Structure 1
Amino acid sequence: MHGIPSLIGDNGRVLDLAGVGFGPSNLALAVALREADAGLAVRFLEKRDRFVWHGNMLLDGSRMQISFLKDLVSLRDPTSRYSFLNYLHRQGRLQDFINLRTFYPSRREFNDYLSWVASDFDGLCDYGMDVVAVEPVRVGDAVPHVRIRARDAEGRERSLLARNLVIGAGATPLVPDVFDGLVRKGTGKASSGPLVIHSNDYLAAAGELARAGRVAVVGLGQSAAEIFLDLHARGVDVDIVARGPAMRPADSSPFANQVFDADYTGYLYGLPPAERADLLRAFHNTNYAVVDPDLIDAIYAIFYQQKVEATDRHGLLTRHEVVAARADAAAGGLLLDLAGLDGGELRQRRYGAVVLATGYRRRIHEELLRPMEPWLTGGEVGRDYRLPTVPGCTAGLYLQGCCEATHGLSDTLLSILPIRAQEIAVALTGGTGWGRGQQIRELTSAQ
């Protein structure tokens, strides 16, 4: 896996594996393949210019919502040198972290851990490469490999060839239709037009938000709660606007958390689609539109103190839907039309800026793979995360982070990264090259 030259064009060379994106999912796969001594020619393409994990939500005081033991490797091999505990040891902070008496490091520290691991794989990743398409390469009537087309930061197109492809490109911000054409990326610098950003760009725009006047945060989940508290600390007046009736606590109880275990993936996958969907709905409040209870307590205390002081610095506009949004040319902000869901009352509110904490959608793979559609069966993704292809197409197409409907709620999270990486690595190598090959094959077949 070492010594592969930087991406300069396909030049007829066919890699064993190419990866789209180099976030935690494909990083975990890179680690698994290296530790298996798989001997594959591998290269990853990452749109960002460096490794970063949710960089614009690394807020002061924000903590992980899962245990540090669910790092890139520990569930697969606790002795790996890429574990979070070894990272702490190498940084000289292991005893200090133990003194914190917590399983939940800060989000900034976990990002630093991931970056520390990623730095060991710089030779396998081309940063600043935006993949635009995956195309079949025909040899007679067969498709033994694919061409991955990408653009660099200067807009120059590059490409490479690979027998297998794994897409771990993450998600794109979900923007409500009423804000179409208004959203821009936060830069932290003043620019023309109203400031409407997605939470994905929050920290980059925080300075501008602090000067914008009253801010509307649209949403009622974890990101909305964290952004509200951060803006409150910056002295910004905020309205939380949401369709829901109240902030709901995340269910992190032990039995509920078992839906994120690796064994549960195999169980869920083996069920009929309708039963899978029922279970996903039943456990929806373990991950979506919910907030850590300590944040709910902190926000409630803020609003209670407002009542004590008889002030209205912040507003909580639950059971309200934004039905229209437009720039307010006179005041330089935005006008939002809010419809009350209890009675249908319509009110208009003026804001200096809007932050959309409205979640994400995971469809990047659909656009990238559009040229491959004639070679896909349209059936369900396999248990090993491989898309089914028609006879004659032997190129392997794998998905990471876009298989929630078949593999469960953990698919978009960090919880199963080591096991999923192991399963894909076994599929790519046929289980060969592993120091604990038989044990790994048995573990995989048992799920």
Structure 2
Amino acid sequence: MTDHPTTDDIIGIGFGPANLSLAIALRDAMAGSSLRPSFRFIERQDQFSWHRAMMLPGADMQISFVKDLVSLRDPTSPFSFLNYLHVKGRLTTFLNLKTFNPSRVEYNDYLSWAADHFADAVAYGEAVEIVRPETRDGRLAAFVVEAKDGSGTRRSRRCRHLVVAAGGDPAVPEPFAAHLRDRRVIHSSWYLPGIAQALGAPRLDGPEPRILVVGGGQSAVEIVTDLGQRYPRARIDLAIRAPALKPADDSPFVNEIFDPASVDRIHNASPELRADLIAAHRSTNYAVVDADLIQAFYATLYEQEVSGHARYRLLRNTQTTALEESGEGLCATLRDTVAGTEERQAYAAIVCATGYQRAALPAILEPLRPFLASDTADRHYRLPLHPSEPRVSLHLQGFSEPTHGLTETLLSILPVRAGAITQTILGEEQAARSAIRPAAIRQ
């Protein structure tokens, strides 16, 4: 590690859609300003990719293309999805699809196209290990970001403004968490490479592999559908805790929870009311499935009743209470919490479509805790620091759902949030510059 870290005015940890939107907002804001703070992003992946392990055939986005990286902030931006289509020569053919929801593969290509414009400002292939404070006279003066690349080389960088958008960690419940070193236990975040390692290529002969998918949300049913197509001889169980798969509520009035104005309503409410508002709208995002996908899966279950050849099972009210290795595979104990019965079943692979978890304060920021007045971000996604020098700020993207609402971990208002963070940072830079000028005049 270098004794003298390289310095940037702004560093972003993670370069997914959130910090990509921030990079665009910074570029736009500086285009019409005399301020030119330098910025850099650090990304653990070797290249830009968004949910690469869930690029499933036929999977569409669940939000409108208008909720892209920029349009809610500046619909004239060259980084819009529409301009991407124009550049790629697909604008009129996309319009002929008559849809607001592009495929997941195409949206990932759009994001990658936008990210390519910032290749010089991103350090790919580096995992941030810790962020340490740099102090001056007992005050926080800068952040020192320590990272390591794939070869083990460590690198240190410093900045005055830090924006953390590192994403969530896979949530893997017990008893599966105890077997994560077993390649047959897979989380949806590494589904495509994971299932290939666990089962290999599909075979038209030999035994039929039995696969367990755990989870009651969109990803779980998408994975069940993909497994059935990818492994035509597989027998697939979907275990859900609820009595039924629930449809996502995307009706217009409910969908207003994803409008930018909803952040103000939730943030300005009391903590108790905030929790109630978020709970009342959980059916828009958590443990729910698009209605058309539910309909298709129900039809599949019905068709196999007609044919008498059952490849799929929906195990309702089911919890996996134990998991152990056996000669036949991974043996799971499945408990029906309503009937009170148990079943033991061996599986060749298990996929946990169980979502993600986010700490209120990312673990890499723990050394900064003595300088935090609170670990709750303000309206502009900024953690309050004390004591600190001017022109030092710490922002979080994706970690403030309890105070900012369901949009916090989603794509819905990325450009609006990025704009707010950009204006906060540049406002502090401008204020510092204005404070320096009178002092220089007096001298």
Give TM-score scaled by structure 1 length. 0.90
Q: How many angstroms apart in 2 are the aligned matches of 1:168 and 1:9?
A: 25
Alignment check: 8 A CA contact 1:426 1:432 kept: no
Structure 1 residue runs without a partner (length 5+): 1-7, 185-192, 434-447
Report the alpha carbon displacement of residue 146 of structure 1 after superposing the two structures with TM: 0.8
Q: In the TM superposition, what is the alpha-carbon distance from 1:380 to its structure 2 partner?
A: 2.4
Tell me which residue corresponds to 2:435. Answer: none
Deviation per residue, 1:180-224 (Å, 9 max, x gap): 23124xxxxxxxx55110011111134344568110000111000
**How many angstroms does 1:312 deviate by?**
2.1
For residue 209 of structure 2, what is the aligned residue in structure 1? 213
User: 1:138: Cα distance to partner?
Assistant: 1.0
Q: Which residue of 1 aligns with 2:184?
A: 195
Look up the match of 2:258. Answer: 260
1:68 aligned partner:
65
Deviations 1:278-334 (CA, angstroms, capped at 9, x unpaired): 000000000000000110011001100011012221111111100011111x22x10
Matching residue of 1:189: none
Helix, strand or coil: the match of 2:75?
Answer: coil
Query: How many residues of Structure 1 are paired with residues of Structure 2 in the alignment?
Result: 416
In 2: Cα distance, 1:10 partner to 1:380 partner: 33
Residues 389-398 or 73-82, more deviating: 389-398
In 2, are the aligned partners of 1:213 and 1:352 still within 8 Å (CA)?
Answer: yes
For the residues of structure 1 that align with 2:427 and 2:307, how far apart are their CA atoms? 67
Partner of 2:332: 336
Q: Which amino acid is the alignment partner of residue 347 of structure 1?
A: E
Partner of 2:85: 88
Aligned to 1:131: 128
* Residue equivalent to 2:153: 156
Change in 2 beyond 3 A, CA 1:431/1:374: closer
Whether 2:268 is the aligned partner of 1:275: answer no
Q: 1:238 to 1:264 in 2, by over 3 A?
A: same
* TM-score, normalised relative to structure 2: 0.91
In structure 2, runs of 5+ residues without a counterpart are: 431-443
> C-alpha distance in 1, partners of 2:147/2:361?
14
Letter of the structure 2 residue corresponding to residue 47 of structure 1: R
Q: Report the Cα distance in structure 2 between the residues aligned to 1:39 and 1:123, rounded to whole angstroms.
A: 16
* Contact 2:127/2:147 (<8 A) preserved: yes
Structure 2 counterpart of 1:11, one-letter code: H
Write out per-residue CA displacement over residues 343-386 of structure 1, whole angstroms, 9 at most, x where no aligned residue. 32122111111000011012395211110111112252110100
The yes-or-no answer on 1:39 pairing with 2:32 is: no
1:344-423 mapped onto 2 (5 Å cutoff): 344-363=340-359, 365-392=361-388, 394=390, 395-423=392-420
Indicate which of 15, 19, 24 corresponds to 2:12: 19
Conservation of the 8 A alpha-carbon contact between 1:425 and 1:431? no
Q: What residue identity is the alignment partner of 1:357?
A: A
Over 3 Å counting, the alpha-carbon distance change for 1:305 and 1:108 in structure 2 is same
Whether 1:172 aligns to 2:169 is yes
Q: Tell me how far apart the structure 1 counterparts of residues 420 and 339 of structure 2 sit (CA, whole Å).
A: 52
> RMSD between aligned alpha carbons?
1.7
Q: Could you list the structure 1 runs, at least 4 aligned residues long, displaced by more than 4 angstroms after superposition.
A: none
* 1:215-294 alignment runs, 5 A limit: 215-234=211-230, 235=232, 236-294=234-292
Measure the CA separation in 2 of the matches of 1:36 and 1:10. 33
Identify which of 74, 78, 95 aligns with 1:77: 74
Inter-partner Cα distance in structure 2 for 1:63 and 1:72: 17
Matched residues in 2 for 1:142 and 1:113: separation? 42
Instruction: Using the TM superposition, give the Cα deviation of residue 14 of structure 1 relative to its aligned residue in structure 2, in angstroms.
Output: 3.1
Distance 1:296 1:327 in 2: 32
Aligned partner letter, 1:26: N
Q: Report deviation, 1:431.
A: 8.3
Instruction: Check conservation: 2:12, 2:164, Cα contact below 8 A.
Output: yes
Q: Distance in 1 between matches of 2:374 and 2:317?
A: 39
Q: Is the 8 A contact 2:361 2:375 kept in 1?
A: no
Residue equivalent to 1:424: 421
Asked if 2 retains the 8 angstrom alpha-carbon contact of 1:404 and 1:410, the reply is yes
Q: Give, as a single letter, the amino acid of the residue that structure 2 aligns with 1:366.
A: P
Distance 1:166 1:122 in 2: 18
